[in-house]
Every structure is written in structure tokens, then in C-alpha cells.
Structure 1
Amino acid sequence: MDEKIMERLKKLLALSKSPNPHEAALALEKAQRFMAENGLCQDDIDLLDIGETLADSVLSSASAPPEYMGWLLTVITMAMGCKALYARKKVAFVGVSARCEIAAYMYDVLARQLRKQRRDFIRALDKRTLPKNRTAKADAFCEGWVMGVQSRVEAMKISAHEKALIEKFKQKTYTSDEEIKLRQSKKVRGQSDAANKGWKAGREAQLDRGVAGPRAQRGMQGLVIIDELC
């Protein structure tokens, strides 16, 4: 739906809830006429609260993002009852607009913390550790970190109707639903110890749910699904 048309319809529907009966009736009449003129239906009204928010932080600079970043998105989308989509190394959250704002904010905050703690973990490793083992242990640390965060987050239950609206919005807005390939971590000695350290660090992650400032609500073509709704 065109943004100007959407905003106009939102205003008319808001006025139709006025405590003034005459004003409410007039606004409802205008809203119905406006919908008829623009070929809108009840589904279009239902979709008014569904939107998208683009996160500031990239998913990964690598062509195949690490699996733990996909896990992090899953934790956040389950907590906020939305869906995460991906393209050009950027992440968009789709669902009820207010919750998507918070989801994008949470992702930006947590992704920065995770990347910093990954770097710190690698620096603390024995200098004799081979590069490939450094990466594997750091991956295990990050996986544990995300699990630590998950242990502090409660999943949000959303209705089947809301899930259907999110799916409808996605189909209308995005042209691709390809699944992205995530890089899995390699097995290495000391992996469990690294994961345990990550879990403890993740338990201490800052999960401030303060509402972020205004974000650009812009569509992106060719996005791919990262996770499924709970």
C-alpha cells in the first residue's frame, strides 16, 4: 500500500474512534469511501500495524554468516514476536511496528556486545593456538554466549492471525524467500570450556529494552528468511 494512502487511512480510522459520536460517524463514512476509492479491503486495515525496521548492525562481513548470528536473531524474534529477514548483509525485522523497533534496537546492542567479547576472547587465548583453532574456539564461545542470552529471555506468544498478517506483509513487500546458508563452527579440543565461558558472559549481557529513536522504515528487495516464528 502507498505510504501516503496508508497514513491517510490511519488518520481517518483514528478519528472514527472519537468520543464525539458525530465526528466518529463522519470519519468512518470518509474512511469507507476512501477505501472504496482506493480499492482497499479489511486485510489492508489489518496490515496497518504491521511494518519493518532495518537494524543498523550488519549480520556479518563474511559471505556465509556464522551460525551463532542466526541463533541471536532467533532469540530476539522469539522474544519480540516478529520475523527477521536478511539481504546485503543487513537485517530487517518484520511484524507489529512498535515491537520491530525494539527488536532492531536489541539486535544492535547485543551484536555489538557479542563482537567485542569475541575479540576479547581471541586475544586472551594462548598465543600458540593455531588460527583455525582460534576461530573454532571463538565460535564455541559465541554459541555459548547466545545460549546465555536466551536463558534470560522469555518467548512472546503471538496469535495465528498475527503470524498470518506478518507472512502476508512479507509476501507483498519482498521478492525472495530463499534460505541463507550459515557457516557452522568446527569441532576442536577445548570447545566445551569455551562455550561455558561464553554462556556465563551471555548471562551478563545488557538487555536494555528501551525504545530506540525513529528509524527509517524502508523496504528492501531480495530479502531471505533467517528464522521461523515460534
Structure 2
Amino acid sequence: MDSRILKKVRQCLALAKQATNEHEAAAAMRQAQNLMRKHKISESDIDFSYVQHERVETDCKKVVSYHAALLHLIKRVFGVRFVMSSSLFSNSEVSFIGINPQPELAKYCYEVLWTKLKQTRQEYVKQQPKQCKRATKVARGDRFAEGWVFGIARTVEEFALSEKETSIIERYLAQEFPDLTSSATLKRGKKANTKKAVLDGIAAGRQESLHRPVNGQEHQKLNHNLGA
């Protein structure tokens, strides 16, 4: 469907809603309806034209606990939904879906945070005593990373979506991903002694600052605050 026509219809609908003169509002609404009839555009087509779908490759074949925590943080901060898909022949892919421009911002923030999180976790694992079993080091690294995400999460607020925006996203997901299912998160080393690792992660995460990027300058600010 021609994006220019959709944009024109949206402009007419916006004018009809915002116009203070009832004649102007009626004229704008008639123009929108005429365009919709002529080009066979439904209300759902208009609603879905606001939806943006951003994809990014990730190196995780399975969603481990701290990766899931990060994805849910991005979901809350930017008001998006995420879908993860995997293939035997290519890297896994995360899709961020929401109202434009939030998914693009979510994707950018995810890429920065995921790189930073993996690096910080790896450094923490290297600090563990040499006599520790590998499974214990992995578990402590995971719990540290979970704490790190929790520490950052305490500094940000959720992005509030309107009921209509939420409805549009949910309907879009139902149409584009009809076979979507939930998958279990992998939590490793449940029996390992990891309490200190969680607290260390929270303390480290609180040292970071997360800003919602809105333009190039905000992108630079995000990189600076996260040490990227």
C-alpha cells in the first residue's frame, strides 16, 4: 500500500480532529473518507501505518535470564513489544514492535545496553576465585547481570501508552504473528551461592544512567553515560 496515500489520509484525519471550525473539520473528514474508499483503505490499515517494526540480530540462541530481564526493561522503557526468533542457519533475531518512533529508539538502546551488559558480566566472571567450578562462575555471572539490569531499571520510568496505542500494537501482533508463543527463560545454576553476585550487580547497575534517546544528540548522551 502506498505510504504517501496513508500519510495523506492520516493528515486529513488529524486536521478533522484538530480543526476549530466545524466546516473545515467536516471537509477534512470527507476527504479522508474519499481517499479511503478510492484506495480501499481500512481503519486497520490506518492504525497499522503508525506501527514500526525494527529487527536486530543477537548472538543468543536461547534466552537466558539476564537477557530476558534486559528485553523486558526495554519493553517498559519504550512502550514496545518484542519477539525473538531463531534459526539453525543464522543468528537469532529480536524484533521491537510499537508506535513510531519508539521501536527504533528501543533497538538502538538495546544494542548499546546488550554490548555493555555482556562486557560487564564477563569482567565479573573473571574476578571469581580460580577454585570455583565453571558452573558456579556462570551462575554468578548470570545473577550479577540480572542485578545490573535491575539496578538500571530503578532509575527509569515506564513509557505510558494510551489504550488505543496498546490496542493497535496487540492487533498488529495478532495479525503479523498469529502463531506467536511464549518460551521459557533459561536460568542456570539455581543451587549455586550467588546472593553476593546479585547485590554486586545491582550496585554496578545503579552507577549507570539510562536516557531515552530522541535524536542524534541523545544517542551520543546514551553512549557517554553507558561508557560505550
TM-score computed with the length of structure 1 as normaliser = 0.78
Relative contact order: is structure 1 or structure 2 higher (C-alpha 8 Å, sep ≥ 6)? 1
- Is 2:89 aligned against 1:92? no
Distance in 2, matches of 1:33 and 1:15, equals: 11
CA contact (8 A) 2:85 2:94 kept: yes
Q: What stretches of structure 2 of length at least 5 have no aligned partner?
A: 87-91, 217-228
Deviation (angstroms), 1:23? 10
- Structure 2 CA distance for partners of 1:155 and 1:181, relative to 1, 3 Å: same
- The corresponding residue for 2:113 is 110
- The corresponding residue for 1:198 is 201
Deviation (angstroms), 1:27? 7.0
Distance in 2, matches of 1:120 and 1:162, equals: 40
Deviation (angstroms), 1:26? 7.6
Distance in 2, matches of 1:40 and 1:71, equals: 39
- Structure 2 CA distance for partners of 1:196 and 1:123, relative to 1, 3 Å: same
Trace 1:80-159 onto structure 2 (pairs within 5 A).
Answer: 80-88=78-86, 89-159=92-162
CA contact (8 A) 1:152 1:203 kept: yes
- Structure 2 CA distance for partners of 1:13 and 1:24, relative to 1, 3 Å: farther
Give RMSD over aligned pairs: 2.6
| Deviations 1:180-229, CA, capped at 9 Å, x for gaps | 2220132344401011111111112342432467xxxxxxxxxxxxxxxx
Which residue, out of 160, 168, 174, partners 1:165? 168
Greater shift, 36-45 or 85-94, is seen at: 36-45
CA contact (8 A) 1:53 1:97 kept: no
- Structure 2 CA distance for partners of 1:185 and 1:205, relative to 1, 3 Å: farther
Distance in 2, matches of 1:172 and 1:6, equals: 19
**Which amino acid in the other structure matches residue 169 of structure 2?**
I
CA contact (8 A) 2:78 2:103 kept: yes
**Which amino acid in the other structure matches residue 84 of structure 1?**
F
Greater shift, 86-95 or 186-195, is seen at: 186-195
- The corresponding residue for 1:39 is 40
Distance in 2, matches of 1:140 and 1:78, equals: 21
The number of residues matched between the two structures is: 206
CA contact (8 A) 1:101 1:211 kept: no
Distance in 1, matches of 2:167 and 2:24, equals: 33
Q: Identity percentage over the alignment?
A: 27
Deviation (angstroms), 1:109? 1.1
